Structure 1
Amino acid sequence: MCFIMVGCKYVADIYPVQFVKTAHPLSVGLVLVGTAFFLSVEMFLIVPMIFDTGGVMYKLAWLVAVFIVYNVLGNMLACYRTDTSVASLPRDRQVPEPEEEHLWHHCDYCQTLVPPRSWHCRLCNCCILRRDHHCIFTATCVGHNNYRYFFWFIIYLTAGTFLALASHVLLFLINKEMRRHYMLFHITNAFSFVEPTRKFDLTFVWINLIFVLNAYAFTFSLVMVAYQIPTIYLNTTFYTQRDSQYNRGLRENFGTFMGSRGVWTFLSPTIRSPLPHDGTQWETRKPSATICEC
């Protein structure tokens, strides 16, 4: 994971334009194709071997699957479409008030003053409000205005891949016939003589390939979530995780990222949840710094 991130950052710094033209379509396409692939495999192959297709559990599985896919793609699209650049501010907020000017800093690329916690992205070619990082899977920068969508996007990716992985485990446990198609069965069977192994066939190849891809997708999503936990817990960013000066407590931090509706934003990307400020004013945890940074 770290190797991939470092490699992508290295290439992006040297060839920003080429990186955007190549990495964005490939990464977004990977999410779209992967979502369609896992949905089809789970709901048309794996789940029907676990639940009766005419039963309540199968229908419930479809509802859960559709809900997760809706939130994966909906939050992904909302993250991409939500402008979180300094240029998205009203014109009067793109320049500091005289008493706030000392809190802003100069961007060498944009050649202008920008709010605190904002910094330039070479891939987006602009300054981003409370920039967290540039996400190739949503083809945009993640910052103050769209962090909510990115966070739920990776949460639902993790939930979806986990449930898909769990369905494989459940199938392995309850279906004796399909159990023989999993490599895990043959590995454990090599150390015992309880049941004879079956000759490997095309089903064996596919079922194990799907299982491995599923395990990798879940692990990758889980790692992305793990990287974001300190961000919300400490009100920091991906590249400044040791900076906790803006930490106002978990409840207030969560509201800063998710808006007034808080945890209800989990239900849908279409739920309106206004943020507490426009991304130019940040209170620190220091008692002496009660004035907002702008």
Structure 2
Amino acid sequence: MVELMDCLTKTFKLASLRFNQGQIIKATLEKQYTLIVMPTGQGKSLCYQLPAVLADGVTIVVTPLKSLMHDQTSKLTFIGNVTLQIKVSTFSEGSDYKKTIADLKGSNPKIKLLYTTPEMLCTSQTLKAAMESLRMHNKLAHFVFDEAQCIVSWGNKFRPAYKKLMWLHNSYPNVPFMALTATASPDTKLRIERLLGLKNVMSVDRPNIKYSLLNSSNVTVTNVAENIKRNYPNCCGIVYCITRDECEKVTAKLRAENITCQAYHAGISQNTLQSAHKLWMDGDVQ
């Protein structure tokens, strides 16, 4: 516990843990399977980042979007602790790529957190070889699945790689898993556990969080804009759309209602996406 609190204060510059974080981190360090349902902004990321720093090995974090990887790594880099090396696993050619692979295949890797996508995890032979090397050296610490609801909601057609993640449990039965999400019904939680092959899971939920569903056929963009102005005038949020075209149209209509917003989808250039993401994170768009 002393080492944990020392890491919390010196590495993460935090004075104390929030609700349930201590329980989750303790379970993770004890190599338990964990499923965390906790609202955005309540410190889910620390629940795996702190154990990753303390662990003797590499924690592999599976996340659906590169923007989420960059968000997490930029925050960790901002902490400024030189002993904490974070790599975003895009596996593009270049010096960083080669250095990352060389480090992972060494007997004592310096990398603590390696971020990747489910597609890379399932298809990259280079990554698989690096993971085998980590196992041989007993340096594969944890698997973490951020935004774990995507395993269920995106796994059928949109991101089929999510449905293939069972191989990780079969190949690495002694490596503990952690799944994190801000939203999951009891059925979704059970499906996440089944699709990842999790057993004897310690589940942490926040039952006081309520969810509401609205029929989109009865709601116009004007209604959405009025709701934002009335109930969330100084907040940031996300409006999800089914298609890219709908995303562009909704963005244009919200702007016409004087809502500052940016479109964000796979048809937009990476530079524009990064700019939109930064504007949103900084609170410059709603």
* TM interval, short-chain normalised: under 0.3
Higher Cα Rg: structure 1 or 2? Answer: 1
TM, length-normalised to structure 2: 0.22
Give the strand-richer structure, 1 or 2: 2
Give the helix-richer structure, 1 or 2: 1
Answer 1 or 2: higher relative contact order, Cα 8 Å, separation at least 6: 2
TM, length-normalised to structure 1: 0.22
